[in-house]
Structure formats: C-alpha cells, structure tokens
Structure 1
Amino acid sequence: MRLMIMFDLPVDTASERREYRQFRKRLINEGFLMIQYSIYERVCVSRKTATFLENRIKSFLPTSGVVQSLMVTEKQYNDMHFLVGNPVDDVRNSSDRTVILCFYLIYLIKRWL
C-alpha cells in the first residue's frame, strides 16, 4: 500500500513560504519521499497504517492551498507508466525495505532476550 500526498501551496508572502517549508519538512520527517515536485509518497504496511498517517497529516495542514491524498496498492503503483524519463531505483522507495526492517527488528529482539 502506498500513500501519496499531492499539494499546491501558495508562496507569495513570507508566512506562506514558511508554512510551505514546515509542511514539506513534516512530510519528510514522517518518512515520505519526493517523487515529483509537490508529490510525496510513503510505503505503508496496510490500509490501516495509511489511514493513520493520513490523519497525522491532517493535524499539520497549512491554512491555505490544496492538499490531496491518494492510497494505492502496490500492484496499482507498479502499473504506473513513465511517459518521459526513467524510474529511479531507490531502496528507500520499495516495499522490500519494510520486510528488511521487520527482520532486523526481530533479530534485535531475539538478541536482546
């Protein structure tokens, strides 16, 4: 499951630019990666996790502009076509990373016990 956040925020005044920077920084701190300007995504384990993240994002929305979210399955995401340009193979942007982190966490727990 992927959660995509798309936004178009005004940057005319200093306060609007500050809100834009803060919103973008919070998305990055929540684990989102930029796939295009103003389009960020994050791999989620389940729809429940994606809904939880969506609710967290609602808590720090900017006061103006447009912010949209979209939940897509891995199959839907992998059916995306690149009309111009090439996909970037980034391990941070794959569901394989989630599995590796789970195995590493299990390893650490067993080692600690």
Structure 2
Amino acid sequence: MSYRFMRVMILFDLPVLTNEDLKTYRQFRRFLLKSGFIMMQESVYTKLALNNTVANSVMESIRKNKPNKGLVQMMLVTEKQFSRMEFVTGFGQTEYIDNDERLIDL
C-alpha cells in the first residue's frame, strides 16, 4: 500500500456575539481537538491524514459537525505542499510532533 500523506486544513470564522454563539464556537473547537486537529493559529487547524481516503473521511466528519452559522472552510493539501509553507514572520509551534513521525508506532 502506498502512503500519500495529506493535510486537512480547517479555517473558520464563527460569530461570538451571544452566549449561544459562544457555546457553538466552543463545541466546534472541542470537536476539532478531539478529532486530532492541531491549532496552527487562531481559527486555523490542521490534521495529518495517511492518504486521500482518510482525508475525505475527516472532511465528511467536519461536514456532519459544522455549526449552523458562520464560515467554515476546508482545504486539502499534500504533506509536501504543506512542508513548503514559508513563515514570513513568527515561527511554528514545536510542542507537538506535527509531521508523519506521529503516525509511526515505535
């Protein structure tokens, strides 16, 4: 079996004007974290997927758990494309193993 690591990126902008909005925001964010997403920056989360089939399954899960209001966008890129991301200013998080090493069971 050939592995082609993919990266699912979720970008969202949800309203937080009312208590109900805040509750929905927290629920969606908690869902992303429990699903294995890692926060890149505020309202931008990524998850490493083994291949395109797994990535599509992850994206379908997002569709099923989307909030009713706000904007949620998904983007699928290969791990090679993701690794070419340029940090113009600032730096990436180093607290987590956020590459294909986290998929390998030692």
TM over 0.5: yes
Q: Which blocks of at least 5 consecutive residues in structure 1 are unaligned?
A: 105-113
Percent sequence identity is 37
Pick the structure with more strand per residue.
Answer: 2
Q: Which blocks of at least 5 consecutive residues in structure 2 are unaligned?
A: 1-5
* Superposed counterparts of 1:1-113, under 5 Å: 1-99=6-104, 101=105, 104=106
Aligned length: 101
What's the TM-score once normalised by structure 1's chain length? 0.85
Return structure 1 stretches of 4+ with deviation > 3 angstroms. Answer: none
Instruction: Give the secondary structure class of the aligned counterpart of 1:71.
Output: strand
C-alpha distance after superposition, 1:7-31 (max 9, x if no partner)? 0000001101100000000000000
Pick the structure with more helix per residue.
Answer: 1
Q: Which has the higher contact order (CA 8 A, sep 6+)?
A: 2
What's the TM-score once normalised by structure 2's chain length? 0.90
The answer on whether the counterparts of 2:40 and 2:93 sit within 8 Å (CA) in structure 1 is: no
Task: Give the letter aligned to residue 30 of structure 2.
Answer: K
C-alpha distance after superposition, 1:50-71 (max 9, x if no partner)? 1001101111111100000001
